[in-house]
Structure 1
């Protein structure tokens, strides 16, 4: 079994129960195979394991790999032609997006994530056209891209069986459209009409295919209340019980989703989901922007995890989540970049900084998230939303050696007052340029701007060549259809709020 020593001036192993960072100085991490087997003083570890390969050294800070707990696609929708819109208008806007090879697409965003210290991603595959084999083929291409690169991924194909364009039955919405749009819209929506039973079969097939792969976990993603019939909610609950797989579910992202829940159930989306037994420690709620105090109390009582998607909430006009309320409730809160960050990229360090800064309300004594709060969201609490659970999110014996080495000089040059706490400095100042080395399962997957397993330049060149070609007639048709749907979709929601 191969042995490696990861050496750093300081190792942030995690966040203590009291909210303080756990930091070890002049310490080395022994990695045997894919896991951490020992942590101790550097001098002692060098003597005991003199034959081990050394990684890092003086001037480095080690920390647990970051976890992007909510992610969907590779190239961003904006890059591919979809302007930022309020979420409900963004659904038709996304028809403007170019078609991209799923492997290349996945590698593109994975490069950005790894370069900002992300070692694990929660890949929520929301839309995949075609039959079962087409969906599985696309899933395998996405998962294969992560394994080729050496990145850890939790993958799910999101269940949905209704309301594919607006928060109403497809046929009811189509009946309101001008005659010339009805056929094209029905054809488009039907391409995402895989029956629920076959969607369940996709989950089982993926679990079987990737069962023995340390880097990959398969989980469930009942997509959102408006996209799921009661039959689908029952199926998700049954599958969760049978498989033990964790779940990730979008809920209450916008005020329109809160109103849909009221119209459908007479009450709260969370209360309705709870009636199927779905709320519990194995469920993560993505967004939750429009939860009420009663919703948050229910979430805390059931032990549900939350995932805060700060940039997405801002870009899609979804509102500002009550992160401080989430944190004070004691609910575990993870952090996700969703479709893309504020700079239209997947810079997790910036997403952490944004979440820390946005939720600092006026008033000297008003609560606000500390650097340690945000750090724990991006590590330990992110881990809790994945099938990897207690195996990632901290630097500790027995856990996977998912470790990020920061170059402290690059992070602080030309000066940083040493009185400022270490984690605070990282949260305020760290950028991808200060990420020197990233290890996943003990293997170096990123080092000084390069990815040992995949030629980044070749991938970007293939993407560039493919996307610079003239748009295919089907792409032009779909874009025009999306633009034609913007006004009818807007009209549908006119009396909702």
Structure 2
């Protein structure tokens, strides 16, 4: 097999009973019945009636048939790793404990790791991913090699990627200065903890000189239609104002977007109040960080004033429903964001409810999660969720108006689904196809995934990378004995977790009315 990105995109016609093109300003799905899409040189050249397009292009290969459902490619706008934390030995825990527990994880070769989740992405119709590379020790000069391996995996598979290497420069253990927290530990733990933290310190200037510039030289300036470079200071708690301001400067200098985890947990909300005397969003607005080039991941604990600031700035929110449920982070007020006109994208984060990357299921979860009791209660519509997973996702990861809708001139990213299987044995014909998609589509219904005009997944298998051989290579790599350094990290994690838990004792949980009233007592 050869890498998808290095093979030419032959002309194809994609045919379907229903073509769902996108969602209009009135939240209505624009659709074509019994239509076809002509793709040439990786772009959509024409959309129209099947008979007309076929008659004008009799020799072009046809994908799909008169029974297919065709939709724009789905976008996972917040993703980190391939092998899930459960696979690597960490159960679901609150975020503040979970990150330290993961120190014990075995190292997975980054190329193989990206492919593991990539297979799951294309199988569920995902054509573009925001990959937020995990924080790594110094030297920073080693980071481009790891990033390059991840990007190589996506290109070989044919999957579109917006890549950002997460970084941080403070509060690496708890939401407090590292030295203050380390000094509070029993003496026997202090030196071990300092030794662990030491390689994670780097100068901010090194990030630009040793990571950013080499990456721009290699992947920047839209040299590859499948690749975008972004920036990702990990969150407000672990990023100093100096790092945030530098990130804004780099974004302007290099024409990049920024993805920032924001107000993910109740403890992060409280930390912002303690550190700034105001919310994290209010502080970001004050230092000029917000803007239409910024995507805020999670946004679980935002108030009405925060939402006004987010809306005024033009930021996107990336909603990570599965992650928030698994880590007990809460339910983001997505209906409130939507009501205020704030664009919302969807991300699966470390893993979805099935411990995989299934965007079809994630859309269904979002549909049902944001339903509250009451005859007059407002719920998200299938069309709104469809937009989140397509067009807004494209904007949220830097692909703007290149993908996310089916329209002439856009890149040819789309998914062909088995409509008869989805509707078997009977589905009322009057049911809108987008409702059938949101409520009934499963990965088993994905017949083909097309990215940049190339068929990258078809009839249950990726087309350009050998999945069985890759997974065998992963199994072989993971069967190797744990190195002493990894065992030591796990032991240190076990020793520190009780003190990390104790640090948050007494931190108040937010009070006041909830955005959603789900039950009572």
Do they fold alike, i.e. is TM over 0.5?
Answer: yes
Among 173, 189, 195, the alignment partner of 1:181 is 189
**Structure 2: distance between partners of 1:449 and 1:249:** 34
Q: Deviations over 1:211-269 (max 9, x none)?
A: 21110000111221111112112111211222221111111001111111111111111
Correspondence for 1:489: 500
Correspondence for 1:43: 51
**Structure 1: distance between partners of 2:198 and 2:429:** 60
1:61 equivalenced with 2:104 (yes/no) = no
Deviation at 1:419, TM superposition (A): 2.2
Among 256, 267, 280, the alignment partner of 2:267 is 256
Correspondence for 2:517: none
Moved more, 111-120 or 408-417: 408-417
Among 423, 438, 444, the alignment partner of 2:449 is 438
Correspondence for 1:207: 216
Q: Deviations over 1:310-358 (max 9, x none)?
A: 0111111111111111111110000000111011111111111001101
Q: How does 1:337-486 map to 2 (within 5 A)?
A: 337-486=348-497
Q: How does 1:84-483 map to 2 (within 5 A)?
A: 84-201=92-209, 202-211=211-220, 212-483=223-494
Moved more, 218-227 or 467-476: 467-476
Work out whether residues 160 and 196 of structure 1, in 8 Å CA contact, stay in contact via their aligned partners in 2: no
Work out whether residues 8 and 61 of structure 1, in 8 Å CA contact, stay in contact via their aligned partners in 2: yes
Moved more, 332-341 or 228-237: 228-237
**Structure 1: distance between partners of 2:303 and 2:116:** 37
Moved more, 481-490 or 189-198: 189-198
Matched positions, count: 497
**Structure 2: distance between partners of 1:274 and 1:214:** 32
**Structure 2: distance between partners of 1:194 and 1:153:** 26
Deviation at 1:278, TM superposition (A): 1.4
Correspondence for 1:27: 35
Work out whether residues 82 and 95 of structure 1, in 8 Å CA contact, stay in contact via their aligned partners in 2: no
**Structure 2: distance between partners of 1:192 and 1:434:** 44
Work out whether residues 437 and 444 of structure 1, in 8 Å CA contact, stay in contact via their aligned partners in 2: yes
1:226 match: secondary structure: coil
Q: Deviations over 1:350-403 (max 9, x none)?
A: 111001101100001111111111111000110111221110100001110001
Q: Deviations over 1:40-73 (max 9, x none)?
A: 1111111111121211112111000000000011
Q: How does 1:8-19 map to 2 (within 5 A)?
A: 8-19=16-27
Unaligned runs of 5+ in 1: none
**Structure 2: distance between partners of 1:471 and 1:159:** 26
Please, what TM-score do these two structures have when normalized by structure 2? 0.93
Deviation at 1:447, TM superposition (A): 0.3
1:284 match: secondary structure: strand
Work out whether residues 10 and 454 of structure 2, in 8 Å CA contact, stay in contact via their aligned partners in 1: no
1:70 equivalenced with 2:78 (yes/no) = yes
Deviation at 1:469, TM superposition (A): 3.1
2:462 match: secondary structure: coil
Deviation at 1:170, TM superposition (A): 1.2
Work out whether residues 268 and 295 of structure 1, in 8 Å CA contact, stay in contact via their aligned partners in 2: yes
Work out whether residues 11 and 453 of structure 2, in 8 Å CA contact, stay in contact via their aligned partners in 1: no
Deviation at 1:472, TM superposition (A): 2.2
Q: CA RMSD in A?
A: 1.2
1:158 match: secondary structure: strand
**Structure 2: distance between partners of 1:366 and 1:103:** 46
**Structure 2: distance between partners of 1:169 and 1:474:** 25
Deviation at 1:452, TM superposition (A): 1.5
Please, what TM-score do these two structures have when normalized by structure 1? 0.98
Work out whether residues 410 and 433 of structure 1, in 8 Å CA contact, stay in contact via their aligned partners in 2: no
